Amino acid sequence: MVRKMMSDQDLDMLFRDARSQNAWTSEPVSETLLRAVYDLAKMGPTSANCSPGRFVLLVSQASKERLKPHLSPNNVNKVMTAPVCVIFAHDTEFYENIPRLFPHNAAAKDWFKSNPAFAETTAFRNGTLQGAYFMLAARTLGLDCGPMSGFNNEGVDKEFFPDGKFKSNFICSIGHGDPKGLFPRNPRLTFEEACRIL
């Protein structure tokens, strides 16, 4: 299959002009759009198609109030004024779905079930990837994203995942960004600083 490159306009939307949003317009985000974002994001690859990512979409004011006590002070407004805040988490027992998700080798479940440390590393790594896929999918569908790690994971897990099966990773406000909340673009490392070709 010959793959066509994205247009410069598409690359701008995904990367060059994409910013971490700090302020939001009042335009709502529909459930239909959130479902479309997930339907794109779920197609991103994970190890053995393990798909450990779990996404709690906080849309109601009441749900955001539950999150509020666990936020760093500088993140409260970024969350409370956003149409949606997503808790990106991973399922620590993701391997129970392996026989369905990886049917050509259903025994792969035992790779993880018999090795808790390997399972945790796999869940965290691939759940993080799925969070990034979700953000890219949101951007392709016209939404802005404001990812954050400034919150108390333990508190969030007790509040939203009391059975201990899911573990929070990071959070991300999603909606239509207000440009007034943007900081100047920060520098990035050069290729020479960040990469080696061996």
Domains observed in the chain: 21-180 (3.40.109.10)
- pLDDT (tens digit per residue) in 75-120: 999 999 999 999 999 999 999 999 999 999 989 999 999 999 999 9
- Residue 189's φ and ψ, nearest 5 degrees, are -70, 150
Distance CA 38, CA 19 (A): 20
Give the pLDDT confidence score for residue 106 in this predicted structure. Answer: 83
pTM for this entry = 0.95
Block residue for tokens 């520098």: 187
Report the alpha-carbon distance of residue 167 to residue 171 in Å, rounded. 12
> What integer pLDDT is reported at residue 191 of this predicted model?
98
Q: Are 21 and 83 in contact (CB under 8 A)?
A: no
Q: Which two tokens stand for residue 95?
A: 């391997």
State which H helix or E strand residue 188 sits in. Answer: none
Q: What is the pLDDT of residues 115-138, one digit of tens each?
A: 999 999 999 999 999 999 999 999
Nearest partner of 142 among 185, 174, 173, judged by Cα: 174
CA gap 69, 190 in Å, rounded: 39
Q: Phi and psi of 4, rounded to 5°? A: -90, 140
Report angle CA 91, 165, 79 to the nearest 5 degrees. 75
